[in-house]
Amino acid sequence: MTQTIGFLGAGRMAAAMIKRLLTQGYAVQVWNRSPDKLEPLVLLGARACATPADAAQGADTVISFMADDRAAEAVWLGENGALAAMTKGTPAMECSTLSHAFVIELAKKIEAAGCRYIDTPVTGVPADVEAGNTIFLVGASSDALESARAIMNATGKRIVHFGPIGSGTVYKLMHNLLGAVHIAAAAELVGVAKRAGLDGDLVAETFANGANASPTGLITVPGMVSGNHHEGIHFTTGLRAKDASYAMKLATEMGITLPVGQAASAVFDDATARGYGDLAQSAVIELYTPKPKP
């Protein structure tokens, strides 16, 4: 019998997972705030829904991929939210990168309604997700995890069960903060190299083959060198700023000071405030690029 997935969101990562689910034989009914993003998915076999509740109605599992706490709260708990339409016992997979405190709060409300909350942010870029190479970072009870394991196996290459609800989010927030540190530091390297007149392509090539290269740096440094922050966007500057701020909030709640993380978070906050939030993460290089005088 075909399993039906109610999907909340159709951004880059969400769309990639929906495509993967469809190739694996799942039926997908999907809602997105911007309906135009649903058209390519409908052509592949997904069913467009008018509200989150419509997407969740009759679904065997509901998956959410939202930008932040506010958006996640709206799709699960708001007017025409998914939770009110879900049958008791239905797994609720929250794949968004959210603040830890909000995850705990949301989980309590979803479980109080009789559904199974699975804290499962993911790692990877959209191409990885579509190819079935997602890594799921899970915080959930063993029973809740088992209820969604088949979906994770069909769409990912690894399931890492860190422990109870919230533990997957703890790892994901620190993982993304580390990415912010890598990118901010790489931007300083490229910024100084550019100012010194070094050949940009040679800088990118040497970085890629050096001991300090990281997957995150390999994705972002070419854009820093070329100045192209508009095409092939894997992750935006604004989303990285949001994730870093959630990570710093968690550290504060735990009474931990993270000076390196704080510095990187400030870089992304600055870049977002200057209007680069919707561009690729490589746009942080613009903080170090001299602007022509008017």
pLDDT in tens, 192-235: 999 999 999 999 999 999 999 999 999 999 999 999 999 989 89
Q: What is the CATH number of the domain that holds 198?
A: 1.10.1040.10
| 188 and 112 fall within a common domain | no
Q: Is the dihedral of CA 290, 282, 64, 49 positive or negative?
A: positive
CB–CB of 219/253 below 8 Å? Answer: no
Does residue 293 lie in a domain region?
A: no
Q: Is the pLDDT of residue 290 over 60?
A: yes
The torsion angle over the Cα atoms of residues 137, 19, 157 and 176, rounded to 10 degrees, is -40
Domain boundary at 122, 139, 164, which? 164
Q: Which residue from 53, 50, 51, 55 is spatially nearest to 27, judged by alpha carbons?
A: 55
Number of domains making up the chain: 2
| 156 and 26 fall within a common domain | yes
| 175 and 31 fall within a common domain | no
Rg (CA), the chain: 20
Task: For residue range 250-265, list pLDDT tens digits in order.
Answer: 999 999 999 999 999 9
Task: For residue range 88-105, list pLDDT tens digits in order.
Answer: 999 999 999 999 999 999
Q: Is the pLDDT of residue 293 over 60?
A: no
Cα-based distances in Å from 283 to 36, 145, 213, 272: 26, 38, 18, 9
Q: Which residues, listed in sequence order, are joined to residue 47 by a DSSP beta bridge?
A: 29
81 phi and psi angles, rounded to 5 deg: -75, 160
Does residue 48 lie in a domain region?
A: yes
Q: Is the pLDDT of residue 247 over 80?
A: yes
Task: For residue range 39-86, list pLDDT tens digits in order.
Answer: 999 999 999 999 999 999 999 999 999 999 999 999 999 999 999 999
Where do we find the tokens 């966007």? 233
| 245 and 153 fall within a common domain | no
Q: What is the CATH number of the domain that holds 112?
A: 3.40.50.720
Q: Which domain holds residue 235?
A: 170-288
Say what the pTM is.
0.94
